[in-house]
Amino acid sequence: MKLPRHRSRGAALVIAMLLTALGAAVAVQMIVPLSGWMEREYRARDTQASYTLADAASSWAITVLAADLRLGPIDHYGELWAIALPPTPVEGGTIEGRITDLQARFNLNNLAPRGVKSAANVTLAKALFTQLGVPGNLVDTLADAIDRDELTDDGQSESQRYGRGLRNAPLMRFADLLDVPGFTDGMVRSLATTMVVLPEASPINANTAPRSLIAAAFPAASSDAIDKMLLRRSQQPFANGNEVAGLLGQSTLDGVFSANSQYFAVEAVIRFERAAHRVQLQIARSLTARPRVISRLISNA
Ligand SMILES: [Ca+2]
Ligand SMILES: [Ca+2]
């Protein structure tokens, strides 16, 4: 009963934060109607305006995420950042957007945090690869490609086993998988539907992870037990990554889960009279510095 009121107040707050972020700068950028012969300039202005609005979307998300951090260390769907920004009129158009938690996904760089293979993450990745129809043994190859050393699990030289030297460093982007022996375009596309590549290892947030990911991590847990765990999580978010294992009656998976997030995605759609742009951002938030945009893509919506 309380939730809808809380959420509508939340939406109002989120909109207020957007309007603050938009500020006066955007008002002067709004589309000025131009006659036909100025078509080229019109398009140039569209682009300029959407870059300005992309900056506004970044400021909005950064404001929301910085405010969230001040409220405490854990992250969950009951917080302000998780409330979507509904289509909100700005001069000449609308802007809408949402922030999602990138740590609700499995990050491929978790296979070897700080260059050292993580057995628990390798096991989980094998289950997730299999769910997506990608051979599980490619996880071993990928872990060798990311881990710092030059040896396979059975002590062989990696360059001998794979016929060439591996990167021995974290992936920088999803497409880097194509340089790892055995991976194909199709596999990379499948994996990208539910996984992510972040600049460093990032435990899965137990408060935001989808059911399928929890089920893969705890294969012995019954469907009932997972339902109960999801219900409990919606009422009282986990304070740390170990609580989820305890609730499912299994031993803790070392370093696989946490209860907070540093990496978020923002997707905003900006519409003008004649143009619509999609802005996709990745934001990194640390305990010590202001959240910052680490990637930005603007495309036609
Ligand atoms: Ca939080
Ligand atoms: Ca290696």
Convert the pLDDT of each residue in 189-247 to its tens digit: 999 999 999 999 999 999 999 999 999 999 999 999 999 999 999 999 999 999 999 89
Last residue of a domain, one of 158, 174, 193: 193
Residue 198 lies in a domain: no
Provide φ and ψ at 87, rounded to 5°: -55, 120
Q: From ligand 2's centre to the CA of 222, what distance in Å? A: 36
CATH number for the domain spanning 182: value is 1.10.40.60
Residue 115 lies in a domain: yes
Q: Are residues 151 and 119 in the same domain?
A: yes
pLDDT at 252: 82
Contact predicate 239/76, CB 8 Å: no
Q: Domain range for residue 229? A: 203-260
92 pLDDT higher than 60: yes
Contact predicate 128/213, CB 8 Å: yes
Q: Are residues 48 and 121 in the same domain?
A: no
Q: From ligand 2's centre to the CA of 135, what distance in Å? A: 19
Residues that place a CB less than 5 A from ion ligand 1: 68, 75
Q: Are residues 214 and 286 in the same domain?
A: no
Q: From ligand 1's centre to the CA of 76, what distance in Å? A: 6
Last residue of a domain, one of 138, 162, 193: 193
Q: From ligand 2's centre to the CA of 126, what distance in Å? A: 18
Residue 82 lies in a domain: no
Q: Are residues 119 and 50 in the same domain?
A: no
DSSP 3-state percent helix, strand, coil across the chain (nearest 5): 45, 20, 35
Average pLDDT, integer, range 38-51:
55
Instruction: Assign 35 a pLDDT band (cuts: 50, 70, 90).
Output: very low
Last residue of a domain, one of 164, 193, 222: 193
Q: Are residues 254 and 265 in the same domain?
A: no
Nearest ligand, measured from the Cα of 78:
1
Nearest ligand, measured from the Cα of 99:
1
Domain count, the chain: 3
Interacting residues of 175 by C-beta distance below 8 A, sequence separation 6+: 188
Residue 296 lies in a domain: yes
CATH number for the domain spanning 27: value is 3.30.1300.30
Q: From ligand 1's centre to the CA of 36, what distance in Å? A: 49
Q: From ligand 2's centre to the CA of 151, what distance in Å? A: 6
Convert the pLDDT of each residue in 100-109 to its tens digit: 999 999 999 9
pLDDT at 291: 94
Nearest ligand, measured from the Cα of 258:
1
